[in-house]
Structure 1
Amino acid sequence: MPPPPLAAAALRRHVLRALLPQSRHLCLLAAHSPSPSDDSDFEPPDHPLPRAPDGDGELAAFLHRLSDASTAAYVAANEVNKAIKTFDAMEKFKTEADQTVFYSLLRALCKNKNIEDAEELLLVRKKFFPLTAEGFNIILDGWCNVITDIAEAKRIWREMSNYCITPDGTSYTLMVSCFAKVGNLFDTLRVYDEMKKRGWTPSIAVYNSLIYVLTKENCMKDAQNIFTRIIDEGLQPNVKTYNSMIVPLCESRKLDEARMVLEDMMLKGIVPTILTYHTFLRQENIDETLKLLKKMKDDGCGPKSDTFLMLIDRFFQLNEPGHALKLWNEMKRYDIRPSYSHYMSVVQGLIKHGCMERALEYYDEMKENGFASDPKLENEFRTFLLANRDHWRGAGKYNIIPQRGKHFARRGAT
């Protein structure tokens, strides 16, 4: 039930001023919100949140939109208490906060890894929002997919039983996925069998998890049988199905078998995703890497900025700095502009391999391109330059400008 007519403006001022006081736009809107005797219709331009209601009839819908926007913003900023306070405002003004809004808050908390807070909120509010399988599944998804913690997932499973909540198909799907991710073949199959006995029909996601764990445990014949079962049950293997076999094969360095799966997938008209290519790139040598990058572009699947960041890191870890720098140069061919992370990866990698002069050049270039300096690296470079000052030309105690760089400004003799 909406609040009395005269409460609408006061509610709007309260929500906008009290719940989000740090937002300049919201404070302006709150300050200009009309009182019962104020006909002002001020509204700041490009307002980040939903427009406030013009009348009482729109109030409930407005609060739902406001709650979704503001709680999501607070959760993203790790302001859990403020997110919950925003949600509570709906009850304070006797505006019904339905289960959909409540579950949206729980999902936002879990997505941002505040899973324990989401679980506590679910249980604390059980008098207002009765516990359901859907609510527990949100928490379960957090422990299974956002943070893969099998111990916590099993605990939530037991909590469902303690509260007499019967797991549904989604619950079983999440547990099968979680056990598969950690390579627990026995429990994956156990939960899968229990799911079928309870009358739940496995989805393609369940079969993908089975293929992954069977391939990971080198049960290739059984994994292939799952492909047949998928088709027999009227489902269609998708790119995630094939990735579920390609990923563990690549991780086991069975690249020839992985390539055969990739070829079969493409013959069936299924286009690889960037995950597919990244899986191979994490294992290939420099020549195959360059070929795959070209194929990615031809297929319209990258390469992207994080592709090169992954590769540069990888080749430095393999003690192949020359190949890492080659990939740095390849970025230009693919019209990818280096980010701060790319520069830092190259600089730190070169320092690790004793290439201080080259590292200094990339560090100078990074700062010239407008990226912030790093205090730790500044000190490290200064120490290096002071220790090797005889290699640099110039007069004066602090004239330690490298011949090919512009790291430190000339101070002159003292």
Structure 2
Amino acid sequence: MLLLRRFNGVRITSAGSVRLLSVKPIASVDDANLRCQEEDQSSYDQKAVCEALSCYSNDWQKALEFFNWVEKESGFRHTTETFNRMIDILGKYFEFDASWGLINRMIGMPQSLPNHVTFRIVFKRYVTAHLVQEAIDAYDKLDDFNLRDETSFYNLVDALCEHKHVVEAEELCFGKNVIANAFSLSNTKIHNLILRGWSKLGWWGKCKEFWEKMDTEGVAKDLFSYSIYMDIMCKSGKPWKAVRLYKEMRSRGIKLDVVAYNTVIRAIGASQGVEFGIRVFREMRDRGCEPNVATHNTIIKLLCENGRMRDAYQMLDEMPKKGCQADSITYMCLFARLEKPSEILSLFGRMIRSGVRPKMDTYVMLMRKFERWGFLQPVLYVWKTMKESGDTPDAAAYNAVIDALIQKGMLDMAREYEEEMIERGLSPRRRPELVEQSLEETLVTGR
């Protein structure tokens, strides 16, 4: 990415650290080149900056350096979306003071005013860190931003339910200290959020109790209610009950959307076999509901689980023809079932060439597979591809490559990766092989 190459080719100065990112002297760049670069830099757009920030999502310090650099050095004006992306990265590493610092910078800038998405991110990151009271306090501050409304309240409840704090969410909605003001808490949407929250916890008995409570209290069940409860039935090992709910929806005249159909296909595929899932896949198209990438992924996964790899590959080939591009999950469904390194590397190459960006989970999954089989070169190839793609490895990726190196007795190289991990603020697992080597080096050198 041109923008990242520009960033990596300059000297970055930030509070508490100076990082030299190029050996090319500044004096070698003449005025004409600088003017040319300034013209190029003015063409940086919001999408390019967001993509660059995503590459640094596992290194908040580098992300913040880039965020400040692109504004100071290239004249880019940050938008609400680029601020939100940076706030999300900071929140991921619990840098909440820095997050609020950016929010305060957003105030008074017409192109980057805080919006509902900004605080949805704040709620999510607080709750992910189990700082529930801080999330509630953030909601209470929204009067200052003219955003303390029903949408923000739903976002707060959604964040609590999404990250397994449904008990606190239910207390906010139906307990003694209700903070929703004039918002209706008897509506279907709030109940759907709470129902999904119990699902996230895997408390199937509580899900059933809440589902029946909705009927008792006269809460109307809509498409989303059924979709959530069908998903609960699938996850609780009762896909046939999900199929029964699907038939109930049909009898009530509820029109299914693509999300509901995806759940039905998964349920029928699990309970009655992949062919029945394919029948529903065809039915949804006949009824004017176009399958999305998740639909295709569901069918591909069912085919792979049934050992029908040729049919799975055929569907992968057909997806672009149907106007549906594969994503990293599509390929991960196939990777999970492949047992030959050559086939995996071939498919991985196809994935990269087709423009599908692997997620960090994809890299880790492949490195772990190769490590289990005792193949080091493919592990290093995946690692190299990840770095060349501009993706910053997380702790799981480092641990995968370190384990593969230790398996082959390459302790010096493993230690280098471990030290790199520590420099980035990541915590490596304790490994006796590396601890013993460190002790031996200390005894020999006397340090």
Do these two structures clear the TM 0.5 threshold for a shared fold by scoring above it? Answer: yes
Match of 1:383 among 404, 423, 436: 436
Distance across 2 between alignment mates of 1:162 and 1:218: 32
- Aligned match of 1:275: 329
Cα distance change on mapping 1:179 and 1:326 into 2, 3 Å: same
Do the aligned residues in 2 keep the contact of 1:312 with 1:325 (CA within 8 Å)? no
Do the aligned residues in 2 keep the contact of 1:340 with 1:366 (CA within 8 Å)? no
Match of 1:202 among 245, 256, 266: 256
Do the aligned residues in 2 keep the contact of 1:321 with 1:350 (CA within 8 Å)? no
Structure 2 counterparts to residues 94-243 of structure 1, below 5 A: 97-124=148-175, 125=178, 128=182, 129-144=184-199, 146-147=200-201, 149-243=203-297
Match of 2:446 among 393, 411, 414: 411
Do the aligned residues in 2 keep the contact of 1:106 with 1:118 (CA within 8 Å)? yes
When you count helix as a share of all residues, which structure comes out higher? 2
Cα distance change on mapping 1:179 and 1:68 into 2, 3 Å: closer
Distance across 1 between alignment mates of 2:429 and 2:286: 60
Distance across 1 between alignment mates of 2:152 and 2:261: 32
User: Is 1:245 paired with 2:299?
Assistant: yes
Cα distance change on mapping 1:115 and 1:359 into 2, 3 Å: farther
Alignment-mate amino acid for residue 153 of structure 2 = F
Distance across 1 between alignment mates of 2:314 and 2:118: 51
User: Is 1:79 paired with 2:131?
Assistant: yes
Match of 1:51 among 97, 107, 116: 107
Structure 2 counterparts to residues 299-318 of structure 1, below 5 A: 299-316=354-371
Distance across 2 between alignment mates of 1:260 and 1:70: 42
Distance across 2 between alignment mates of 1:312 and 1:209: 31
Does the residue aligned with 1:398 lie in a helix, a strand or coil? helix
- Aligned match of 1:329: 381
Alignment-mate amino acid for residue 296 of structure 1 = M
Alignment-mate amino acid for residue 347 of structure 1 = I
Q: CA deviation at 1:382?
A: 3.3
Question: Could you tell which deviates more after superposition, 326-335 or 67-76?
Answer: 67-76
Across the aligned residues of Structure 1 and Structure 2, the Cα RMSD in angstroms comes to 3.7
Q: Deviations over 1:115-168 (max 9, x none)?
A: 221122111238854321110111223344x45554343232123223221211
- Aligned match of 1:4: none
Question: Could you tell which deviates more after superposition, 127-136 or 282-291?
Answer: 127-136
User: Is 1:289 paired with 2:340?
Assistant: no
Match of 2:353 among 264, 283, 298: 298
Does the residue aligned with 1:253 lie in a helix, a strand or coil? coil
Cα distance change on mapping 1:46 and 1:223 into 2, 3 Å: closer
Do the aligned residues in 1 keep the contact of 2:239 with 2:270 (CA within 8 Å)? no
Q: Deviations over 1:223-253 (max 9, x none)?
A: 2321332122122222222111111222343
Cα distance change on mapping 1:72 and 1:380 into 2, 3 Å: same
Distance across 2 between alignment mates of 1:297 and 1:191: 40
Cα distance change on mapping 1:303 and 1:100 into 2, 3 Å: closer
Distance across 2 between alignment mates of 1:373 and 1:231: 47
Do the aligned residues in 1 keep the contact of 2:274 with 2:299 (CA within 8 Å)? no
Q: CA deviation at 1:171?
A: 0.5
Q: Deviations over 1:353-374 (max 9, x none)?
A: 5x4x314422224415734585
User: Is 1:398 paired with 2:443?
Assistant: yes
Which residues of structure 2 form unaligned runs of 5+?
A: 1-95
Do the aligned residues in 2 keep the contact of 1:308 with 1:328 (CA within 8 Å)? no
Cα distance change on mapping 1:230 and 1:81 into 2, 3 Å: same
Cα distance change on mapping 1:122 and 1:259 into 2, 3 Å: same
Distance across 2 between alignment mates of 1:105 and 1:373: 29
User: Is 1:255 paired with 2:309?
Assistant: yes
Alignment-mate amino acid for residue 153 of structure 1 = C
Cα distance change on mapping 1:148 and 1:48 into 2, 3 Å: farther
Distance across 2 between alignment mates of 1:297 and 1:96: 41
Distance across 2 between alignment mates of 1:115 and 1:371: 34
Distance across 1 between alignment mates of 2:270 and 2:342: 27
TM-score by length of structure 2 reads 0.65
TM-score by length of structure 1 reads 0.69
Distance across 2 between alignment mates of 1:341 and 1:374: 10
Distance across 2 between alignment mates of 1:205 and 1:297: 28
Q: CA deviation at 1:320?
A: 1.2
Do the aligned residues in 1 keep the contact of 2:415 with 2:434 (CA within 8 Å)? no
Distance across 2 between alignment mates of 1:229 and 1:131: 35
Does the residue aligned with 1:164 lie in a helix, a strand or coil? coil
Distance across 2 between alignment mates of 1:222 and 1:85: 49
Cα distance change on mapping 1:119 and 1:326 into 2, 3 Å: same
Q: CA deviation at 1:379?
A: 5.5
Q: Deviations over 1:312-363 (max 9, x none)?
A: 12233xx3122x5423234324614654432212323555x5x4x3144222
Cα distance change on mapping 1:49 and 1:214 into 2, 3 Å: farther
- Aligned match of 1:343: 398
% identical equivalent positions: 25
